[in-house]
Amino acid sequence: MWNHTPDCTLCPIRTRVDKTFLTGTPHQEEEGDLTFFINGKEITLYFLISTVLLTVGRNKKVLLTITDISDLKRAELERSSLKQQLYQSQKVMSIGTLAGGIAHDFNNILTAILGYTEMALYQNKQTPAIQEDLGEVIKAGHRAKELVKQILAFSRQSDTKRIPLQPKRIIREAIKMLRPSLPSTILIKQGDCQPTGSILADQTQLLQILLNICTNGYHAMENSGGTLDISLKETLLSNEDILCNQNIESGVFAQITIRDTGHGMDKETMEKIFAPYFTTKETGKGTGMGLSIVHSIVLSYGGFISLDSKPDKGTVFDIFLPIIKSDPLLAICTDEKLLTGTERILFVDDEEIIANMIKKMLEKLGYQVTAKTSSLDALETFQNHANQFDLVITDQTMPNMTGSELAKTLLQIQADIPIILCTGYSTIMNEKKAKAIGIREFVTKPVSKNDIAILIRKILDSNHT
């Protein structure tokens, strides 16, 4: 029998040998592992061990067989990890599929809500109290629209549109969305938010950045409570300041700081925090994709993220986004100056409530509108009276014939007919594909009265020149 101490490295093997020696019971291919350190690096070996008692004369001996299965075991662990990543990806895809279905129907509902509310607002100019109430309905409708865009952005199914944005306004919106979802044990506050120049970003993506990082902070304080603080300032970064970010150009940045008083992170966790599928949350509480997506978006904007954290000392995320030198001039159109016209429009949408609402809206702008709730009826009408229409506006997702299929057929009948394609959400059509067909403009529902008025005049005026 071997002499050994309980904490010796080879204990797992020696224990089996001793047991076989004392009891005579063989052990057939039991799995075990050994962990030890070489030059400070942890090494784990996996093995199969077999023991059998042999009697040689008067002596008892144990035959020990060790088979190294380290490579096989590591391959199994890697397969298990990949399987888990695939499972997480499938969950994200499932959420995306569900989000797409909800987005299409919900955006149709919002189109009707916002459209009729805008018309009611326009008709009640002399009643301030009614105007104020209707204005709140419109605000809520637009918040619902942005919420749908966030869901689609999470599942990476939405097209992004970068426009000049004021970070301070988006921070206020993020705080407004977070407050109802956080427990009373967590205080969220807007710290010193100084005025800054505009950044070129997609509003939904910027909200996603803030919400994901703030949610990460919330989970760090979930058990003990604490404070989540968001602040903003403009900062000038030189080449020396961004040495660790070689692909970033020096200049003026909007610095958004998100600070939590949670349990913090060690150095090893900080190094992995932006890696896809990495999560410190328990099973079912996170996909490991949130901060990875945040990191990807920030880099695509020409910015970067700085992270500072220590165990039990909280965490600070600094998000640096480049400030654009000047804002493009944006056309602003008020209700009193809505663009109007007298041209003839064929409008197609299988939702009767939307078809009726858009017909009323466009007629109030002076247009002559023929509304159809069937793409086949619309096609027949156009075939018989093609010279009676100056513009076609069609929904994408319709039974029998989609909007894009209808557009192709209409363009075969009259190659120069301008077409606007609208969609609440579509997995088969986007702006690039639409324009490749010959469609002039691609818009996502819901679209405001002001926006549709501008878009129609833009297309019709360009058609006349």
pLDDT tens for each residue of 55-105 = 777 777 777 777 777 788 778 877 776 776 666 556 656 666 666 667 777
Question: Strands of 41-56's sheet, edge to edge?
Answer: 27-38, 41-56, 59-68
Please report which confidence band the pLDDT of residue 383 belongs to, taking 50, 70 and 90 as the band edges: very high
Contact 352, 374 (CB under 8 A): no
CB 174 within 8 A of CB 214: yes
Question: What's the pLDDT band for 413 if we cut at 50, 70, 90?
Answer: very high
Whether residue 269 sits in one domain with residue 176:
yes
Whether residue 343 is found in the same domain as residue 260 = no
In the predicted structure, residue 216 carries a pLDDT above the cut 70: yes
Mark whether 414 and 457 lie in a shared domain.
yes
Q: Please check whether residues 343 and 321 belong to one and the same domain.
A: no
Residues 405 and 423 in one domain: yes
pLDDT 10s digits, 104-156: 778 888 888 888 888 888 787 778 888 888 888 888 887 777 767 666 665 55
Cβ atoms of 393 and 460 closer than 8 Å = no
Q: What is this structure's pTM?
A: 0.49
Domain with 59 in it: 11-68
Q: Identify the burial level of 429 via C-beta atoms within 10 angstroms of its C-beta, where 0-12 means exposed, 13-18 middle and 19 or more buried.
A: buried
Tokens 């380290």 locate to 70
In a domain, 90, yes or no: no
β-pair partners for 31: 48
User: Is the same domain home to 390 and 293?
Assistant: no
Same domain, 51 and 195: no
| Measured distance between the N- and C-terminal CA atoms of the chain, rounded to whole angstroms | 101
**Phi (first) and psi of residue 350, to 5 degrees:** -75, -10
Contact 454, 447 (CB under 8 A): no
Distances from the Cα of 94 to the Cαs of 87, 88, 294, 295, 442, in angstroms?
Answer: 10, 10, 20, 23, 26
Same domain, 292 and 406: no
What is the tally of structural domains in the chain? 3
Between CA 312 and CA 345 the distance in angstroms is 64
Asked whether 446 and 110 are in contact (CB, 8 A), the reply is yes
Residues 355 and 440 in one domain: yes
SS3 313: coil
Q: What CATH number should be reported for the domain holding residue 356?
A: 3.40.50.2300
The token duo for 365 is 């702008």
CA distance 444 to 425: 7
**Which DSSP helix (H) or strand (E) runs through 232?**
strand 226-237
Cα separation, 287 vs 274, in Å, equals 12
CA 313 to chain centre: 29
- Residue 240: CATH number of its domain: 3.30.565.10
